[in-house]
Amino acid sequence: MPELPEVETTVRLIRPALVGRTIQGEEVRWARTLGGMRRAAFRKAVVGARISAVRRRAKHILLDLERDGVDAGALAVHLRMTGRLYVDPSREPLDPYVRVALALDRGRTLSFLDVRKFGRFVYTPDPEGFLAHLGPEPLGTEFTAQVLWESLRARRRMIKPLLLDQTFLAGLGNIYVDESLHRVRVHPQRRAETLTRAQVTALHAAIQEVLLAAIERQGSSFDKFYRTPEGQPGSYQHEFRVYGKAGQPCPVCGAPIRRFVVGQRGTHACLRCQRPPRAR
């Protein structure tokens, strides 16, 4: 599933082609992509609206809409496992896996392609309320080492499932949690409240460093599905230390990387660098 760096990459690449464009028509090929909204209501909400901004919140792409200079809600796009959002000339035939297409002025089309149909292309009149359940942004100014310290001290959970909880911290997924925890030598099953202040400070820095490096490389393409809006793979997968490296030597100590399950998620770690917690 695309995580924060992949979604941020998509936002940055489609923003120049979308801001200021007016939606002139829609084609919905898979109604469930609309999240339960009827097509007629969707058409009424979006056709004629102008895209005023393109931004990211957690793993969602938000297309803010306006009519006559007044806010008119937003489209909230979640790529899920196989979604891809891109802009093409209107004369290009739609890919058979496109689930929603919006005709724009100046002869362009915004297409949402989703092979496995898990993604969502949802209209909401209140985007902030729609995503109010999400935690802070890991690259936002409100996410400080002190905030992370206080939040972890208040929890009684294993550190990896907690970091994956979007209500705790928004945007992180399996890849970047594993990579961040390896950098600070913290085992994924370590209890969050047992981390020292020094470890929390290092973890805060590692999360931001990993995310920024992945954004710079346009995300990670570890399978055939994630591609940028331009159809290119990301390259951060070449920088992985542990994710997907089971059996390969740890780049720090040389011990074999192990794969195991934590909170029903495949997990990668070096058990020499990241000492397992003692059983209680």
Q: What is the pLDDT of residues 181-197, one digit of tens each?
A: 999 999 999 999 999 99
pTM here is 0.95
Catalytic residue among 2, 127, 188, 229: 2
Confidence band (pLDDT; 50, 70, 90) for 71?
very high
Amino acid in position 196? T
57 is catalytic: no
Choices 2.30.30.90, 1.10.8.50, 3.40.640.10, 1.10.1740.10: CATH for 145-269: 1.10.8.50
8 is catalytic: no
265 is catalytic: yes
Catalytic residue among 3, 8, 26, 179: 3
Specify the CATH number of the domain 4-130: 3.20.190.10
Catalytic residue among 29, 55, 259, 265: 265
Distance CA 264, CA 161 (A): 9
> Are the C-beta atoms of 199 and 184 separated by less than 8 Å?
yes
Catalytic residue among 59, 120, 227, 258: 59
In three state form, how does the secondary structure of 21-73 look? CEEEEEEECCHHHHCCCCHHHHHHHHCCCEEEEEEEECCEEEEEEEECCEEEE
224 is catalytic: no
Q: What is the pLDDT of residues 270-279, one digit of tens each?
A: 999 999 998 6
> Are the C-beta atoms of 51 and 23 separated by less than 8 Å?
yes
Domain ranges of the chain: 4-130, 145-269
> Are the C-beta atoms of 203 and 195 separated by less than 8 Å?
yes
The bridge status of strand 258-262 relative to strand 265-269 is antiparallel
